[in-house]
Amino acid sequence: MSAEAADPGAPLRRRSRPRIDLRRLGRVALRGPVSRDRLPDAISHVAEAHRAHHPDADLTILRRAYVLAESSHRGQMRKSGEPYITHPLAVTLILAELGAETTTLTASLLHDTVEDTEVTLDQVKEQFGDEVCYLVDGVTKLEKVDYGAAAEPETFRKMLVATGNDVRVMSIKLADRLHNMRTLGVMRPEKQARIAKVTRDVLIPLAERLGVQALKTELEDLVFAILHPEEYEETRALIAAATGPDDPLETIADNVTHTLRDAGISAEVLIRPRHFVSVHRVRRKRGELRGTDFGRLLVLVGEDADCYAVLGELHTCFTPVISEFKDFIAAPKFNLYQSLHTAVVGPEGAVAEVLIRTHRMHKVAEAGVVALGNPYAQDPAAAPQTEPSDERADPTRPGWLSRLLDWQESATDPDTFWTTLRDDLAQDREITVFRTDGGTLGLPAGASCVDAAYAQYGDLAHTAIGARVNGRLATLSTVLSDGDTVQPLLAQDTASGPSPDWLDHARTPAARIAITGWFSDHPDQAKPDPETADTTGPGAQGEPSPEREAPVGTAPARGRSGPRSKGVVVEGPDAPVRLAGCCTPVPPDELTGFVVRGGAVTVHRRECPAVAAMQEIGRAPVGARWEDGEGRESDAGCRVTLVAESFGRPRLLADLTEAIATADAAIVSATVEPPSEQRVRHTYTLRLPDAAGLPGLMRAMRDVAGVYDVSRAQHPAPTG
């Protein structure tokens, strides 16, 4: 099955096996099984595809599975009018073309028998063994999906539980969904749209995580055709118009073939047409499409070293586009994908993208975990286990499915699970960070030391006080990069708990669910309501992330008097006003505001990084100013957050606090980061009786011996 062209009308450069004729197979299926000496005609396509990947496979069990499936489903019809047996046959053919092993194909033929017929799991176990029974039971537990909003969370929770124990269960489910999507035209348009949206939001990202690109790309095209029919037709027309004898990719492919042959490198050079969604994405990115944008060159070689030899020849004999080079062989993607990506300039300036991989890499790129065969089978050469275990090791990037299984058990509320699942699947890039004990952690891009702490220590991370990143002390909010070495630091006091602002830095479901759960168990220390919380101190929430803000276009508000908004006036009708904790504005700072969730207005200093971040995502600023002309807050005073940078020395903290007290300022909260290279950072949230005293306070703090800078806090703007 081609991963690049989901539509039978799409232009193909490489002939593939024709699709199964469901109506013809339906007629064959109705005639029932044939003699025991040969396979039934209805599964001859499956047998042919299976033998192409597994020449020595014993097909006897497939024949017996078909006989049971055909007899149990006999008389049942699909909504499209075909006999029901055509559905498990089509699903099994999809998996056979991907290279699934015999056990998976057997379970695929039987995947609906226990749910929809009188066949029991005991019968399956008796006739086909424990492994097939295990897979059929896993698929059966997913139940038929009710696409109502209330049913989705619990249904996909069960799906993940089953997948976490055996990825072949999900392989069967994905193939099942692909065939259902192919035949979705018999349903009402509104039901088509509901199914397509769930497929887009959950199943396609799961297919990506499991590396099954062949299923993912076709599902993407089918969803695209249902949810965006006009854009789909435009893309189809563009692809059809680009099909012709003068394909610039053909010329470049010939040149590459001759170059590699002259260099003595044995390689197969193919043209891989882009699927519809890929063409659509390129068009949105570049505007007008070039002739080479409708496909890519695929170079297949025998060994890993040959991949780099091909890369060297291409970069020597052609002009490379260096910015397009990516090495997914040295650093594979989290879904097993390995390949070299580059781009070269061909004749007349045509730029062609090139993928370089071995035949084995190509098989895994197409089929992902399906290409692993039975990933849970014991290696005969491996040492036997000393103790039996029911745990099945995750054959994909270590820990991915295990992590999902862990946090879904922690999320007792189905809606919380559903929201967290979708957020996690939306993370399309993963980083790897190293532990000091030599292990690794797989985290989503943008993850912080908070996420690393919970990924490594679980609930013990509640006591985290900081981290070392690449040997240097760092705060828990520090965002990690691919390849960093991280060591979370835990306090000795096991009774301590997380800080409320950790939720602003947590990106992983495990961290967010654990932190939320701790505050649920400790309501007296629960996170303040974001609409009423004091956002002026360090460690306070400050400006919510962009995705938590009110929608663009929400009406601006006029501030009303309150403990943290007195003296601030914003444009528009009455609404609560907050001073942002990220920049702690005080008179006579110039102000600007943004409407946040609930209609409140958060006011920032104009130079605050959060202001630029809000404007970049299209948020309209709200005018804000201090209430009186002199910028005084004589009744309530003013809060401000100051950061003092200093060299470490004895009595430094005492001298700083004395200088603050002498300036008649009250310390609301203070943090002192661990020394780094003899430098210490102090962060103080202070209350002054009058904003006019701020310059004098900062001068007094700078005069303390060892202090080389004092500045207003400028926390980075949060990112979504």
Which residues are annotated as catalytic?
115-116
Of the candidates 550, 556, 551, the one whose C-alpha atom is nearest the C-alpha of residue 575 is 556
| Pairing relationship of beta strands 430-435 and 485-490 according to DSSP bridges | parallel
Q: Return the DSSP state at 554.
A: P
Closest C-alpha to 299, from 332, 267, 327, 275: 267
CA-only gyration radius of the chain, Å: 31
Burial zone of 296 (CB within 10 Å; 0-12 exposed, 13-18 middle, 19+ buried):
buried
Q: φ and ψ at 353, to 5 degrees?
A: -80, 140
CA nearest 713: which of 664, 612, 645, 627? Answer: 645
Backbone dihedral region of 539: left (phi > 0), alpha (psi from -120 to 50 degrees) or beta?
Answer: left
Q: Are strands 430-435 and 351-358 parallel, antiparallel or unpaired?
A: unpaired
Closest to 472 measured CA to CA, from 648, 677, 681, 716: 677
The answer to whether residues 84 and 99 touch, using CB atoms and an 8 Å cutoff, is: no
What is the phi/psi pair of residue 175, to 5°? -65, -40
| Torsion angle of the four alpha carbons 653, 655, 657, 659, in this order, in degrees rounded to the nearest 10 | -150
End-to-end CA distance of the chain: 37
Phi, psi (deg, nearest 5) at residue 83: -60, 145
Q: Which of 77, 80, 61, 79 is nearest to 29 (CA)?
A: 77
Q: Which element (helix H / strand E) includes 299?
A: strand 295-301
CA–CA separation, 311 vs 341, rounded Å?
A: 9
Residue 125 and residue 100 in contact, taking contact as beta carbons nearer than 8 Å: no
Q: Rounded CA gap, 95 and 107, in Å?
A: 11
DSSP string, 481-529: -TT-EEEEEE-S-TT----GGGGGT--SHHHHHHHHHHHHH-GGGPPPP
d(CA 139, CA 154): 15
Hey, how many other C-beta atoms are within 10 angstroms of the C-beta on 174? Answer: 27
Inter-residue contact 587 to 632 (CB < 8 Å):
yes
